[in-house]
Amino acid sequence: MKVSDLLKVEFIIPHLKGENKQAVINELIDLFKNDPRVEDLEKVRAAVLDREKVMSTGVGKGFAIPHGKTNAVKEIIGAFGRVPEGIDYDSLDGSPVQLIFLLVGKDNLISTHIKLLSRISRLMNKDDFRNSLIEAKDAQEIIKLFNEEEEHFLEL
């Protein structure tokens, strides 16, 4: 599975309104309010926020990847958002976060979940790619950037 398979225009927020970590995570989770793949949105929220309590998912270089596993989803779901001005996220490197990729997987799809986390991390580790995402004008351009960048990686 590719990251670009998860992302659709309706699951991208080019300018998140939240001013703190919990607010932006909730904003991304709320994109799935009426999604038939989600059986219980509050269980999804709890899974992601509980994981965040273990250790910040602000991995550095202005990027965070909040994630969790729960059987409240029928399949792996993902969303992406930007905070162009950056927010405090308790990142591992202490830097503000501008790019946030939410990933929620099923309890029994651990291998795919881990592979997707790894793939997202590899993509986001590239300075040029992160800068392109920050400068993208809209959700369509963000999807195009993910599609183009993923063409450089082998299929999972």
Task: List active site positions.
Answer: 67
**Can you say how many angstroms the Cα of residue 36 is from the centroid of all Cα atoms in its chain?**
19
83-116: string of b/e by CB count within 10 Å (b at 16+)? beeebebebeeeeebbbbbbbbbbeebeeebeeb
Alpha-carbon distance of 52 to 138, in angstroms, equals: 28
Give residue 155's identity as a one-letter amino acid code: E
What one-character-per-residue DSSP string does 11-53 give? Answer: GEESS---SSHHHHHHHHHGGGTT-TTBS-HHHHHHHHHHHHH
